[in-house]
Amino acid sequence: YAMLLSLIFLIVLVAAIVGFVFRHEIKTNFESNLELALKDYNVTADRHSEAVDTIQRTLHCCGVQNYSDWERTEYFSQRGIPRSCCKNQNDCSEADLKDPNKAKLKVFVDGCFFLVTSTMESKMSVVAGISFGIACFQLIGIILSCCLSRYITNNQYEMV
């Protein structure tokens, strides 16, 4: 049991170290994937498009760096900026969303990349605290299982 807990502890430790070391690569990868999702955005039930809409609605943001990122997409030439960027859904017409100057007043101007990464970084202390707590319980389990093993081994000789 102590060996199993030690193995799990080492796996979690390695995963945490790898995540910390490669955090900049993770950010870069997220940014490029978000840009790709914007480029391939459409109104069909595509899960990438739904994810973009959900991020924009939830975090009150638009585009990768800002709302003007949508101007470089095929979707913008057909329909303008998506409705998920609108501050007020009732006050956003398709004509407003096709005109970048009018859209600036109707949509969220902040980009999603900065908001997503700053939200993740702000929650990292909570994740680190929970992980540290779990690691402490695992170490306590390892120590107690070793003590129990030693106790069982010592008592075997007394029984005979």
For residue 29, count CB atoms less than 10 angstroms from its CB and return exposed for 0-12, middle for 13-18, buried for 19 or more. exposed
CATH code, domain with 66: 1.10.1450.10
- Give the C-alpha separation, 45 to 41, whole Å: 10
Give, for all 160 residues of the chain, the pLDDT tens digit: 888 888 988 888 888 888 778 878 888 888 898 888 888 888 556 788 888 889 999 999 998 998 888 988 888 888 888 888 998 888 888 888 888 888 888 899 898 999 888 888 888 778 878 888 888 888 898 899 888 888 877 766 555 4
Tell me which residue range forms the domain holding 30. 1-158
Q: Per the confidence metrics, is the pTM higher than 0.95?
A: no
DSSP state letters, 41-86: --SSS-HHHHHHHHHHHHHT--SSSBGGGGGGSHHHHHH-S-GGGB
- How many structural domains does the chain have? 1
With beta carbons less than 8 A apart as the criterion, state whether 113 and 67 touch.
no
